[in-house]
């Protein structure tokens, strides 16, 4: 703990929402009069207030650590590490969390909705998110990461009776959990490389890790985790479908917090991976692609929340590309790239403020008019003036106009991208010119959809009469949260440097710890007005002009979207993948699981003989030592002939009786072998058992049908013959080679020597059975007893006639 004393282990605070979630159902059930949300509101408010007290510490570049050991033997611990970056995210989570809970109190109906589960999921999510941004241990980071996926799944599927909610929940679960697992793989590789789970310790050894063979794999796996969570191309497809969640959830999870977990991950791991060109290319490239893609397709949408979802995708791409550009500062001293990281974090905050507000407005419109379809809306300005003001502020900030905070960060973004053009490393000089062009075009579309969002909804001719509900201004309680966010949008524009000093510079310092001694060293002062010489200003002017033109001509160029064939969309690809894997797996298991016992036996015998024979020859274990063999006796040879003949009769017999008699012949000839090989006890037992067996066979077969081929084809018979021959060959080979190479002498000499003195018997076999190895005999008796009882049970216990016929159906 640097610099200050703390009475409480603050890692425990992560679990405060979790503990509170246990109490929520009781509050919901027993306190009917008050909306449950009021109790819940306490949690983020208290946490927000508490975490504010860390600002003085991180402002000086300090950090705080608090740890509870979880699995000490594996080095896994809940570690809360608060530096500039964690604190920024923590404040966003608790601050926007308070506003969202406040908003949901008015949005979610006390009587119609199951508030108990809603707030339980939401608080669960809050714990998970705090855990993600504060964890220093990669394993617990992963734990909380998956908890965000699960709670997000529960929240998207909150109205679980709707098909679309369930589809959206499942889709987001599949994609984010896929990414989460990849990330776990990356973490494990990292822990193998650095022999620690602690992110701080990994960062400390970053220079050594770069040359490790696992470096690139770990990099790509962790980026996959970040890209899926933060809805980057091509994984963004879950986010528009997640809009089936209640609007407070969309505002909180899918614009301000959870989708930024991937951004956090990239920022947190920049000190480790940032020096690699792969990292810079992937993060910047995918970010810019997502930025363009999202902004281009946002204009196509007709649902208010879908526009915002695509806009979120696009803005996340913007932040991502800035983080990638910021990592270049490891290679050059040009101040522009440190500037990019600053811009990324600045825009992250700005986006959380205006996008949260816009989502809440979309929810209000839905709540008051009964629809979110932009084609049905229009002319609401005079009816909902307050909502209109908030929406306008949010949209213009999103579009990047002054005097709103989006303008500042957008200008910084454009300037960073223009600076990328000059960068001469990793072949950037050739392709570098693409970066500012893509960024500029995407900003034009951003401007267009921002206008489209707010103007189509509030201006134009009112079709108020055709709306499902008679619209009127929302209750003031619902408007408080978006109004607070909107005023933040303006306040940040006028005092950006206060925010910069308190929050952004410490965060930049955490992203690039090796470059600065303290946050005060970061020489950036955000100005709203750079004079006419600034590139950003002229680019913004051009954006406004072209964007307005595009907005006015939307009906003329919107048919462009129809050029994209429906089959080629990413959603179609996802659906095809899901359908295909289900079908493919089904076909695969149907192909080999025939339900026929013969098929399974074929697999087993074929596998057995092939492996054993292969191992025999690969290991050179097949040896035949002719000298160790005993001589062939006349009786032995004769008896072998009898045995083989009997076997032939059993196999080829046409009647049951012949087969049983031949089987008996085999048994008696085996008994004869026992005689020849000097095993009197075996011969006796074999004779008796064979006699009883034949009697049993005769008794049972009386009740069985005649021998039947059941129309077996030649082909199956040939296959059966090949398999059985291979098993037979295997048995012969194993018998010969095991006899030919005795690695250790038999222990039988001991029995022979001691049978008279120790056991007082003369028949060695019998003494072994009842004295040396008596336990075998005990359980062999048990086997006989059980078999007897089972036979008796099967004959005596009958299922009733009715049940049998039911079974046959």
Partner 1 sequence: MELLMAIVAGILFTAAIYLILSRSLIKVILGTGLLSHGAHLFILTMGGLGGSAPPVLLDGVTEFVDPLPQALILTAIVISFGVTAFILVLAYRTYAVHKTDDLNSMKGNDEHD
497 touches partner 1 by CB under 8 A? no
Answer for which of 591, 631, 634, 743 binds partner 1 (CB under 8 A) is 631
Identity of the residue, 554 or 764, whose beta carbon is nearer to partner 1 in the bound complex: 764
Q: Which is nearer to partner 1, 527 or 700 (CB)?
A: 700
Question: What DSSP character marks residue 653?
Answer: -
Let me know the angle formed at the C-alpha of 232 by 230 and 237, rounded to the nearest 5 degrees: 95
Q: Which of 703, 714, 715, 802 binds partner 1 (CB under 8 A)?
A: 703
* Helix/strand/coil (H/E/C) assignment for every residue in 114-140: CHHHHHHHHHHHHHHHHHHHHECEHHH
73 part of the interface to partner 1, by CB under 8 A: no
- C-beta of residue 252 within 8 angstroms of C-beta of residue 148: no
Binding segment for partner 1 (CB under 8 A), chosen from 47-55, 360-368, 439-447, 765-773, is: 765-773
Contact between 597 and partner 1 by CB under 8 A: the answer reads yes
Q: Nearest approach, Cβ of 655 to partner 1 (angstroms)?
A: 11
- Using the rule CB under 8 A, which residue among 517, 747, 800, 802 binds partner 1? 747
Q: Does 634 bind partner 1 (CB under 8 A)?
A: no
Q: Does 709 bind partner 1 (CB under 8 A)?
A: yes
Q: Which is nearer to partner 1, 7 or 632 (CB)?
A: 632
How far is Cα 489 from Cα 724, in angstroms, rounded to an integer?
81
Q: Which stretch binds partner 1 (CB under 8 A): 158-166, 348-356, 368-376, 634-642?
A: 634-642
Q: Which is nearer to partner 1, 213 or 595 (CB)?
A: 595
Residue 647 CB-density burial (10 A; 0-12 exposed, 13-18 middle, 19+ buried): middle
Q: Are 123 and 155 in contact (CB under 8 A)?
A: no
- Minimum CB separation from partner 1 for residue 700, in Å? 4
Nearest Cα neighbor of 90 from 80, 78, 101, 77 is 80
Give the nearest distance from C-beta 656 to partner 1 in angstroms: 7
The token duo for 90 is 């923590």
User: Using the rule CB under 8 A, is 286 a contact of partner 1?
Assistant: no
Q: Answer yes or no whether residue 752 interacts with partner 1 by CB under 8 A.
A: yes
Which listed range, 2-10, 328-336, 556-564, 740-748, lies at the site for partner 1 (CB under 8 A)? 740-748
Count of residues engaged in binding partner 1, rule: CB under 8 A? 100
Q: Which residue lies nearer to partner 1 by CB, 569 or 732?
A: 732
Residue 634 is inside which H or E element, if any?
A: helix 634-652
| Strand partners of residue 303 | 373
Nearest distance, CB of residue 375 and partner 1, angstroms: 47
In the complex, least distance from residue 733 CB atom to partner 1, rounded to whole angstroms:
8
**Distance between first and last Cα of the chain:** 73
Determine, following the binding rule CB under 8 A, whether residue 41 of this chain makes contact with partner 1.
no
CB of 739 to partner 1, least distance (A): 5
Residue 583 touching partner 1 (CB under 8 A): no
- Interface residue with partner 1 among 724, 741, 754, 806 (CB under 8 A) is 724
Residues 770-809 that bind partner 1 (CB under 8 A): 773, 776-777, 780, 783-784, 786-788, 790-791, 794-795, 804, 807-808
Give CA–CA dist 464/363, Å, rounded: 18
Site for partner 1 in 656-695 (CB under 8 A): 656, 659, 663, 666-667, 670, 673-674, 677-682, 685-686, 689, 692-693
CB of 68 or CB of 640, closer to partner 1: 640
Distances from the Cα of 504 to the Cα of 58, 274, 498, angstroms: 10, 19, 9
In the complex, the smallest distance separating the C-beta of residue 583 from partner 1, rounded to whole angstroms, is 16
Which residues share a beta bridge with 66? 80
654 sits near partner 1 (criterion: CB under 8 A): no
Report residue 172 as tokens. Answer: 């987001």
User: Is residue 544 at the binding interface for partner 1, with CB under 8 A as the rule?
Assistant: no
* Residues 223-242 interacting with partner 1 (rule: CB under 8 A): none
- How far lies 213's CA from each of 226, 274, 297, 402, 783, in Å? 22, 17, 40, 48, 58
- Could you tell me which stretch among 108-116, 457-465, 522-530, 589-597 binds partner 1 (CB under 8 A)? 589-597
Strand segments, DSSP code E, in 561-660 are: none
HSE-up (13 A, CA, CB side) for residue 687: 9
Count CB atoms within 10 A of the CB of residue 146: 17
Which parts of 502-541 interact with partner 1 (CB under 8 A)? none
71, 528, 623, 700: residue in contact with partner 1 (rule CB under 8 A): 700
Indicate the residue among 53 and 732 with the shorter CB distance to partner 1: 732
Is 75 or 761 the residue whose CB approaches partner 1 more closely?
A: 761
Which position among 603, 644, 657, 758 is part of the footprint of partner 1 (CB under 8 A)?
Answer: 644
Q: CB neighbours of 106 closer than 8 A, spacing ≥ 6? A: 474, 475, 477, 478
User: What φ, ψ does residue 70 adopt, rounded to 5°?
Assistant: -110, -60
According to CB under 8 A, which one of 382, 564, 732, 754 is a site residue for partner 1? 732
By CB under 8 A, tell whether 731 contacts partner 1: yes
Please say which residue, 468 or 705, places its beta carbon nearer to partner 1. 705
Residue 257 DSSP class? S
User: Considering only CA atoms, which of 737, 717, 739 is closest in space to residue 729?
Assistant: 737
- Closer of 384 and 662 to partner 1 (Cβ): 662
CB 292 to partner 1: min, Å:
49
Structure tokens, 201? 């310790």
- Our CB check for partner 1 shows the closer of 81 and 673 to be 673
304: number of Cβ within 10 Å: 26
Query: Cβ closer to partner 1: 475 or 728?
Result: 728
For residue 655, count CB atoms less than 10 angstroms from its CB and return exposed for 0-12, middle for 13-18, buried for 19 or more.
exposed
| 168-172 long-range contacts, CB within 8 A, separation 24+ | 168/238, 168/241, 168/242, 168/243, 168/244, 168/245, 169/242, 169/244, 171/237, 171/238, 171/241, 171/242, 171/574, 172/238, 172/239, 172/241, 172/242
**Window contacting partner 1 (CB under 8 A); options: 288-296, 373-381, 438-446, 742-750:** 742-750
Residue number, 437 or 784, with CB nearest to partner 1: 784
């Amino acid at each position: 703990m640097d610099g200050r004393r703390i009475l409480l282990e603050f890692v425990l605070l992560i679990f405060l929402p979790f503990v509170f979630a246990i109490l929520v159902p009781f509050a919901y059930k027993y306190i009917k009069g008050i909306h449950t949300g009021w109790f819940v509101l306490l949690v983020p408010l208290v946490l927000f207030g508490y975490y504010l007290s860390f600002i003085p510490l991180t402002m000086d570049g300090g950090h705080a650590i608090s740890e509870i050991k979880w699995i000490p033997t594996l080095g896994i611990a809940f570690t809360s590490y608060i530096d500039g970056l964690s604190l920024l995210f923590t404040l966003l989570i608790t601050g926007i969390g308070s506003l969202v809970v406040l908003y949901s109190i008015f949005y979610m109906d006390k009587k119609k909705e199951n508030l108990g589960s809603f707030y339980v999921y939401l608080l669960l999510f809050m714990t998970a998110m705090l855990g993600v941004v504060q964890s220093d241990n990669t394993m617990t980071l992963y734990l909380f990461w998956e908890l965000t996926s699960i709670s997000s799944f529960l929240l998207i599927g909150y109205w679980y009776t709707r098909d679309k909610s369930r589809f959206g929940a499942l889709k987001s679960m599949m994609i984010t959990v896929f990414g989460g697992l990849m990330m776990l793989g990356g973490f494990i590789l990292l822990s193998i490389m650095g022999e620690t789970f602690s992110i701080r310790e990994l960062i400390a050894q970053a220079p050594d890790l770069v040359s490790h063979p696992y470096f690139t794999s770990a990099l790509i796996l962790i980026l996959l985790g970040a890209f899926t969570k933060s809805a980057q191309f091509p994984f963004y497809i879950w986010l528009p479908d997640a809009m089936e969640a209640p609007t407070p959830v969309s505002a909180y999870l899918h614009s301000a917090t959870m989708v930024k977990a991937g951004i956090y991950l990239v920022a947190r791991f920049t000190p480790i991976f940032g020096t690699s060109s792969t990292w810079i290319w992937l993060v910047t490239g995918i970010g810019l692609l997502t930025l363009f893609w999202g902004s281009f397709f946002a204009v196509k949408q007709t649902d208010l929340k879908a526009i915002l979802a695509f806009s979120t995708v696009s803005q996340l791409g913007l932040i991502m590309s800035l983080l990638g550009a910021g990592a270049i500062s490891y290679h050059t001293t040009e101040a522009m790239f440190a500037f990019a990281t600053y811009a990324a974090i600045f825009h992250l905050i700005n986006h959380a403020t205006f996008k949260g507000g816009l989502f809440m407005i979309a929810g209000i419109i839905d709540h008051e008019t009964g629809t979110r379809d932009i084609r049905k809306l229009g002319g609401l300005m005079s009816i909902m003036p307050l909502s209109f003001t908030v929406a306008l502020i949010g949209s213009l900030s999103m579009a990047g106009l002054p005097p709103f905070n989006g303008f500042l960060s957008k200008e910084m973004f454009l300037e960073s991208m223009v600076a990328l053009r000059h960068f001469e490393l990793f072949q950037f000089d050739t392709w570098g010119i693409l970066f500012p062009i893509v960024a500029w075009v995407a900003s034009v579309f951003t401007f267009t959809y921002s206008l489209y969002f707010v103007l189509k909804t509030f201006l134009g001719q009112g079709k108020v009469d055709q709306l499902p509900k008679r619209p009127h201004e929302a209750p003031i309680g619902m408007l408080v949260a978006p109004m607070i966010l909107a005023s933040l949008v303006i306040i940040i524009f006028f005092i950006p440097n206060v925010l910069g000093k308190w929050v952004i510079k410490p965060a930049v310092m955490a992203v690039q710890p090796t470059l600065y001694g303290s946050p005060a060293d970061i020489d950036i002062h955000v100005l709203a007005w750079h004079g006419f010489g600034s590139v950003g200003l002229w680019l913004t002017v051009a954006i406004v002009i072209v964007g307005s033109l595009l907005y006015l001509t939307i009906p003329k160029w919107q048919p462009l979207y129809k050029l994209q064939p429906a089959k080629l969309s990413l959603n179609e690809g996802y659906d095809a993948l899901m359908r295909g894997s289900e079908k493919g797996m089904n076909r695969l298991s149907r192909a080999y699981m025939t339900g026929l016992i013969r098929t399974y036996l074929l697999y087993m015998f074929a596998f057995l003989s092939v492996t054993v024979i292969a191992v025999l020859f690969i290991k050179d274990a097949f040896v035949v030592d002719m000298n160790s063999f005993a001589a062939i006796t006349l009786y032995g040879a004769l008896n072998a002939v009898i045995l083989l003949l009997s076997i032939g009769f059993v196999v080829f017999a046409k009647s049951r009786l012949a087969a049983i008699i031949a089987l008996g012949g085999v048994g008696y000839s085996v008994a004869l072998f026992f005689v020849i090989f000097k095993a009197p006890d075996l011969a006796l037992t074999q004779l008796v058992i064979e006699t009883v067996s034949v009697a049993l066979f005769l008794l049972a077969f009386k009740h069985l049908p005649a021998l039947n081929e059941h129309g077996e084809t030649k082909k199956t018979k040939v296959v059966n013959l090949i398999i059985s021959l291979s098993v037979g060959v295997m048995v012969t080979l194993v018998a010969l080679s095991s006899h030919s190479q005795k690695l250790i002498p038999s222990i039988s000499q001991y029995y022979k020597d001691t049978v008279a003195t120790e056991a007082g018997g003369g028949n060695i076999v019998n003494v072994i059975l009842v004295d040396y190895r008596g336990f075998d005999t005990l359980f062999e008796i048990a086997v006989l007893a059980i078999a007897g009882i089972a036979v008796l049970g099967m004959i005596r216990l009958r299922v009733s006639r009715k049940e049998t016929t039911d079974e046959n159906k």
